[in-house]
Amino acid sequence: MNQASFQRQTILSAFAIALAAFCLLFGYECIRSASKSILIEAFGRQNTLMTMSVAMAGVPFTVLLLIYMYGRLLSKFGANISLLTSTVFSAILILLCYFFILGGSKTACVILFLFRKSYIVILIEQYWSFVNSVLKLDFARRFNGFFLGISAIGATAGTWAGEKLVTRLGTEGMLIFTVVSLIVAAVFSLIAYRVGGEPQPSEKEIGGQQGHAGIKLFLKSRYLLFLGLLIFVTQILSTALELRFDVLIAEQFSDKDLRSEYLYGFWKYVNITAFLLNFVIAPLMFPLLRIRLIKLFIPIIHLGVSLISVLSPSLSTSALSLLLFKSFDYSIFRASKEILYMPLSYDARYRAKQFIDSFIYRNGEGLTAGINALIGTFFVVPLVMYPATAIVMSFLWIGIVLSLTKQYQNLVSSSPE
């Protein structure tokens, strides 16, 4: 295959996986606000903080189970079939939850929330494993922002659809959009693998010889440990902001569908901001700045906004803090983080990455929420503690970035061209 043909195939496969991400994120935004509002309604607005804390504490266990299932699929069938199976399974389970929720099942409300928090990280990390495997580093620096921008368009369309349709179709009706979008995403992911080819493990990685879930590899690598620590700290910060936000919206909105409408509107602005960061800021920032400077810029922003939230507590400042965190998380933070995986092995990109970016990602949320639920059993937690926690995590974030980016530079400089 000549160079021009190879580049054309790379671009086509990258575009196909970006379209898959568009569909995936469209459906996720339809289910995100709906699942939260359904759970709040099922267990009472007055119990919002405890309900959300307990539910979020259960998410890591769901994620760990799904990672193990994914690891076994990857070992037996490879990356392409693993992604297809994961996607179709997600669509079927969400559809089953929909019917049980209509029948009045509170258990289905909990399962839907747990699975919603879990399936998205399992699937999106498989997309990124593909991207990190088929793209060259110089192309990835330009493409990652584009990939996230296309994703943000899908997410924005999902929140727009939810905001416009939820009061007409009902909160539960939005789940059908998620099911359909997952099926379409599966088709585009198949096209991406058909055009771009399926990345192959080395001889010692075939069949999951180094472990199906990537945990052993993670524990043996200082570099991966620091990546995991970075994700853990950022998600403690995120959960602190989200719990405070959840309490304030439950206090302000008593009607389920109006609450859902507000949430769809909030996530719409998150995704619009992420879109602008991906298509306007990222193309200017990535060619000019080193990864270290980019990754230091983000926690400094969060530090400043959290200070404002402490000094001026309200739903508006709480929403602003969470909006900025999620917008950067879906854009510049994610695009720069994925580059850190590119010099690594197949198992690191397909297995250890799932453990870090799915399990540790949700474990940061789950542990924070679990501790919050435990404390809340005995004491009333003042809302100011949540932005205060975000301030502490921002300082830790800065320290981790300084060490991690130094390790990355050493890794790149020692790698063969």
What are 350's two structure tokens?
Answer: 């397909």
Q: How confident is the model at residue 71 (pLDDT cuts 50, 70, 90)?
A: very high
Dmax of the chain from CA atoms?
Answer: 68
Q: Which domains does the chain have, with CATH numbers?
A: 3-197+211-414 (1.20.1250.20)
Mean pLDDT score, 322-328: 92
pLDDT tops 60 at residue 416? no
| Beta-carbon count within 10 A of 379 CB | 8
User: What gap in Å lies between CA 213 and CA 361, rounded to an integer?
Assistant: 15
User: What gap in Å lies between CA 155 and CA 177, rounded to an integer?
Assistant: 12
Q: How confident is the model at residue 381 (pLDDT cuts 50, 70, 90)?
A: confident
CA dist 84 → 28, 152, 281, 285, 340 (Å): 17, 22, 33, 35, 26
Mean pLDDT score, 242-251: 87
Mean pLDDT score, 137-158: 78
Amino acid at 113: F
What are 348's two structure tokens?
Answer: 């690191």
266 neighbors 325 (Cβ within 8 angstroms): no
pTM summary value = 0.83
Residue 140: the pLDDT is: 66
1-5, 239-243, 291-295, 299-303: segment of lowest average pLDDT? 1-5
Closest CA to 53 of 229, 246, 237: 246
Closest CA to 355 of 71, 119, 91: 71
CA dist 348 → 17, 33, 130, 224, 351 (Å): 20, 33, 12, 8, 6
pLDDT tops 70 at residue 417? no
Closest CA to 348 of 220, 157, 176, 192: 220
What are 112's two structure tokens?
Answer: 């839907």
